[in-house]
């Protein structure tokens, strides 16, 4: 049988996929070591630390690491392990802030914004201590399109630019720098992280799960969903949706459209021709950057997902939406409607994730079956498997 998407990737298996990786503690431990301690991970936006001395802390529990990201006094963005060289106490206790020095609140050792150890209390009582060799432990850090990535490996397998390719060539030209954070949500779910990741890798579920939200205004009633594009891009993936043949906004959404771009109407936007800007595949292009980051690109707005495993069956889902800076009340209203619309749609996803998490470990099923519209899920699972086996 010929298939629209998977036929382009003959190396991808078509057999049912095992349930075991979702329920095995041993497999999760392999994911810690082979994925989250070795891959490039997005931890924030460069605008979060716009000025010298500004910092934020990202705790990556799955890797047992607390990451301190700071813009140094020289303007360079750096990342360090948030751990004092004396006894291991975190030097930054707040989630974000601004300072000239990081001073450990246990015994007073201090570090500058470049990570150098600049003060040791009672230094004369230590034995052969060299401050130059005991600064904050650096973490490999890079910035792409304003997104800050870190790699916890002592020596990454590849540079950030090589790791992200070829997503970079498709996304280049999107106006990330002109859009600012408008809203954000955070949910802790009782589910394996892969289930959460995979649920966003296909739109096939849209007319079923989201029949009373997104599907009500931006799909063709009774029509089977087909993706505009599904692509495997190195370690990463793309899921793209076509605009619906008709768009029927709710009264509130119709008002919001008068003042700015929302979420539902952006999903329904017509495609653009070739030229300057990103290479669009549909009305909505959702890029999965392995292992746990999503970029959802729409015309005039975008959103991100960060998925953080806490344990085999517990995961944090962070959602952030970006719009042009609001300059009047109408634009604030429009953005609020867009943010609430996406929130309500994703609450349906989150409920379903947890329903799966409740029963997946029962032993009732040993395998799942994936169809052609779920090709990117197969690619994702292949990337996971390759890394846990190395």
Identify whether residues 282 and 150 lie together within a single domain.
Answer: no
Identify whether residues 327 and 354 lie together within a single domain.
Answer: yes
Q: Does residue 32 form part of some domain? A: no
C-alpha to C-alpha distances, 125 to 89, 120, 128, 201, nearest whole angstrom: 20, 10, 9, 58
Range of 230's domain? 5-19+173-389
Identify whether residues 14 and 71 lie together within a single domain.
Answer: no
Task: Tell me the C-alpha distance between 17 and 35, whole Å.
Answer: 20
Task: Tell me the C-alpha distance between 367 and 16, whole Å.
Answer: 6
Identify whether residues 146 and 179 lie together within a single domain.
Answer: no
Task: Tell me the C-alpha distance between 131 and 116, whole Å.
Answer: 8
Q: Does residue 166 form part of some domain? A: no
Identify whether residues 151 and 197 lie together within a single domain.
Answer: no
Mean pLDDT, consecutive 10-residue segments, the chain of 390 residues?
Answer: 86 95 97 98 97 97 97 97 97 96 96 97 92 97 98 97 96 95 96 97 87 65 77 97 78 87 64 65 94 94 97 98 95 91 91 96 96 97 94
pLDDT of the residue at 26: 97
Identify whether residues 180 and 155 lie together within a single domain.
Answer: no
Q: Does residue 121 form part of some domain? A: yes
pLDDT of the residue at 82: 98
The DSSP symbol for 244 reads P
Q: What is the CATH number of the domain that holds 75?
A: 2.102.10.10
pLDDT of the residue at 222: 54
Identify whether residues 303 and 264 lie together within a single domain.
Answer: yes
Identify whether residues 73 and 188 lie together within a single domain.
Answer: no
Q: Does residue 24 form part of some domain? A: no
Q: What is the pTM of this model?
A: 0.94
Identify whether residues 194 and 142 lie together within a single domain.
Answer: no
Q: What is the CATH number of the domain that holds 300?
A: 3.90.380.10
Task: Tell me the C-alpha distance between 42 and 36, whole Å.
Answer: 11
pLDDT of the residue at 1: 56
Identify whether residues 156 and 237 lie together within a single domain.
Answer: no
pLDDT of the residue at 218: 52
Q: Does residue 129 form part of some domain? A: yes
Pairing of strands 96-98, 101-103: unpaired
Number of domains in the chain: 2
Q: Does residue 31 form part of some domain? A: no
Identify whether residues 247 and 279 lie together within a single domain.
Answer: yes
Identify whether residues 214 and 289 lie together within a single domain.
Answer: yes
């Amino acid at each position: 049988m010929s298939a629209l998407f998977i036929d382009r990737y003959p190396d991808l298996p078509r057999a049912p996929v095992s349930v075991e990786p979702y329920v095995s503690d041993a497999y999760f431990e392999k994911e810690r070591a082979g994925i989250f301690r070795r891959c490039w991970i997005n931890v924030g936006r460069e605008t979060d630390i716009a000025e010298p001395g500004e910092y934020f802390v990202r705790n990556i529990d799955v890797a047992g690491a607390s990451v301190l990201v700071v813009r140094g006094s020289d303007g360079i963005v750096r990342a360090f392990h948030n751990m004092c060289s004396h006894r291991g106490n975190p030097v930054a206790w707040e989630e974000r802030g601004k300072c000239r020095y990081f001073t450990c609140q246990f015994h007073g050792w201090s570090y500058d914004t470049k990570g150098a150890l600049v003060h040791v209390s009672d230094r004369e009582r230590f034995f052969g201590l060299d401050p130059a060799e005991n600064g904050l432990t650096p973490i490999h850090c890079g910035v792409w399109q304003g997104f800050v990535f870190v790699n916890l490996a002592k020596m990454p397998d590849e540079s950030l630019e090589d790791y992200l390719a070829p997503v970079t060539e498709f996304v280049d030209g999107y106006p990330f720098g002109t859009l600012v954070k408008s809203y954000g949500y955070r949910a802790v779910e009782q589910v394996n992280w892969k289930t959460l990741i995979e649920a966003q890798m296909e739109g096939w579920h849209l007319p079923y799960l989201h029949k009373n939200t997104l599907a009500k205004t931006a799909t063709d009633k009774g029509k089977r969903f087909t993706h505009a594009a599904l692509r495997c891009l190195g370690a990463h993936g793309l899921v793209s949706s076509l605009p619906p043949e008709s768009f029927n906004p709710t009264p509130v959404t119709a008002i919001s459209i008068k003042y700015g771009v929302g979420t539902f109407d952006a999903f329904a936007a017509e495609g653009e021709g070739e030229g300057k800007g990103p290479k669009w595949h549909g009305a909505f292009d959702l890029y999965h950057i392995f292992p746990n980051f999503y970029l959802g690109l729409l015309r005039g707005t975008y959103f991100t997902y960060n998925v953080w495993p806490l344990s085999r069956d517990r995961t944090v889902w962070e959602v952030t939406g970006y719009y042009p800076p609001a300059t009047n009340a109408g634009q604030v209203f429009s953005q609020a409607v867009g943010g609430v619309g996406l929130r309500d749609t994703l609450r349906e996803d989150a409920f379903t994730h947890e329903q799966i998490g409740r029963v997946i470990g029962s032993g009732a099923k040993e395998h799942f079956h994936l169809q052609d519209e779920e090709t990117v899920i197969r690619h994702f699972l292949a990337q996971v498997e390759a890394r846990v086996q190395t």
